[in-house]
Structure 1
Amino acid sequence: MTSLVVISGSGRYADPWHPFAETSARLAETLAGFGEVSVVDDVDAAFVRLNTESADLVVVNIGNSDDDAPTLAARVGLAAHLERGGAVLGVHSAATAFPQWAVWPTVLGGHWVRGTTFHPPQSTCTIDVAGGESFETVDERYTALELQPGVDVIATHEHEGETHPLAWVHRFGTANVGYVGLGHDAAAYDSPGARALFGAVAGRLLGIG
């Protein structure tokens, strides 16, 4: 059976703005159709276990840590997962994670740049999906993210007349990696369009979409 692991922000990977336990539970519900989903909240330990325990898709739903996170052993674990061809899906604030680890933006395919990236106030917004139907949701939408070359943008939003990428997929070595910038809080998963977008990206990463 396909295995999915949601790594949920806690400890130094928690913050006052994102209810990670709630959003990780909603992510698990949203992706349950793909296989067996587990949620773990010891972030560094979860990455370390990837050195020896396989998962088909690792979902990273964590916040920013200002220290030298992740640990060396955690970095080794993630590297082993990627080298095996394991997929990774970053969610929302994962774009802000590991600011002292220069490899992470390359893995994820893009990241939040302090002083450049921002988000308008959380509100009703329209998300445009490449090759699909636009949908409305109530969420934060990260704006002016910095993308790596060659990513395949799946969804965008418009802010002050400019179009900004919000979800993408790309290849990192032999692994499929993607990002969805929605999912600020549990209510964000009430949108059928948002759930469909998470499912579409996860399907692409697992090679079934």
Structure 2
Amino acid sequence: MKWKLLPLIILMTALTAFAAAGGEQTRVLIVDGFSNHDWKRTTACLTELLARHGGYSVDVSTFPAGAPQEEREAWNPEFRNYDVVIQNTNGGTQGPEWGATAKKSLEQYLKEGGGMLAFHSANNAFPQWPEYNRMIGLGWRPRDYGTSLIVTDDGAVLRLPPGEGGPTSHGARIDALVTRLGNHPMHAGLPRQWRAADIEVYRYTRGPAEQVQVLSYAREPATGLNFPIEWTVRYGKGRVYTSTLGHVWPGDPALKGVQCAGFQTLLFRALDWLAGKPVDGTVPADFPSPDKTSLRTSPAVSPAPAS
């Protein structure tokens, strides 16, 4: 049985207007197949959001996690055919691993100028893959693994060496006050602070922390410290964007994290930037304020029924 490559070419009214204006679709590949989070529902949410927004062609390549070893090793998406890869797999320490060929293909794709969005729990993935750790810069790692970053109240980024601070962890999801740092194109026109709905503030993400630019941060209640929420990494000629936004857990009755107008705005801006295209700096009227979250009705993908 071969792995499934599901074409989800999106053509909507908004896209027709976009094409008429002389724009080109951004080619997006979502890679999924395994995660401790609800990867099927996450992929469904992302494809719905991109369809509603318009301007994207989307394919999904599902890693055959339950297939024989030979088939798993043979899985090798054509990353080079896409402007952006959304990485939506996470096996943690004990879970599935991509084959060596697929790993090398992603490394080469990014080194040559590709873009990758490490979606939420994807920064938990592949701790034993050195180049992946360099791609994401910071991830869910043990206390002694690598450098961790915290942000002072005046916006200075401090580097903590291995062993200092704690292992990566998080408390309950909260409506966190996010503060942007600097003036990255992805944040053009946005307020300095906004209230993000139902997010996890990761404590002590760790990694090589090379070529990392912290874009925003939030205060973590248990420690009282500010930790990164969004960050980018330059990997070769490529671009990588990671955030702790967009949580989708198995059985969640609501999707506030992905219905958040702030999350959705940043998703589309991140895809623009990762694809090397001009970022649309339009600030939607419903963008959240510092005092109040802002939720949209979509996506509204129901959880899978219990087996």
TM-score scaled by structure 1? Answer: 0.85
Task: Tell me which amino acid in the other structure corresponds to 2:119.
Answer: V
- Show structure 2 runs of 5+ residues with no match: 1-24, 65-71, 144-166, 184-189, 249-254, 280-307
Task: Tell me which amino acid in the other structure corresponds to 1:19.
Answer: D
Find the aligned partners of 2:140 and 2:74 in 1 and give their Cα distance. Answer: 23
- The residue number in structure 2 matching 1:103 is 131
**CA gap 1:153/1:29 in 2 versus in 1, 3 angstroms:** farther
Deviation at 1:2, TM superposition (A): 2.1
- The residue number in structure 1 matching 2:106 is 78
- The residue number in structure 1 matching 2:6 is none
Task: Encode CA deviations 1:75-128: one digit per residue, 9 max, x unaligned.
Answer: 122123223311111011111101221211101122111351111112322222
Q: Secondary structure at the match of 2:87?
A: strand
Q: Is the 8 A contact 2:215 2:231 kept in 1?
A: yes
- The residue number in structure 2 matching 1:198 is 267
> What aligned pairs does 1:32-47 form with structure 2 within 5 A after superposition?
32=51, 33-42=54-63
Deviation at 1:34, TM superposition (A): 4.2
- RMSD after superposition: 2.3
Deviation at 1:135, TM superposition (A): 2.5
Greater RCO between the two (CA within 8 Å, min separation 6)? Answer: 1
Higher helix share: 1
Deviation at 1:5, TM superposition (A): 0.8
Higher strand share: 1
- The residue number in structure 2 matching 1:3 is 27
Decide which structure has the larger Cα Rg and report it.
2
**CA gap 1:46/1:25 in 2 versus in 1, 3 angstroms:** farther
Question: What's the % identity of the aligned pairs?
Answer: 25
- The residue number in structure 2 matching 1:137 is 197
Deviation at 1:47, TM superposition (A): 6.7
- The residue number in structure 2 matching 1:153 is 214
TM-score scaled by structure 2? Answer: 0.60
Match of 2:86 among 55, 59, 62: 59
Q: Is the 8 A contact 1:68 1:100 kept in 2?
A: no
- The residue number in structure 1 matching 2:69 is none
- The residue number in structure 2 matching 1:69 is 97
- Show structure 1 runs of 5+ residues with no match: none
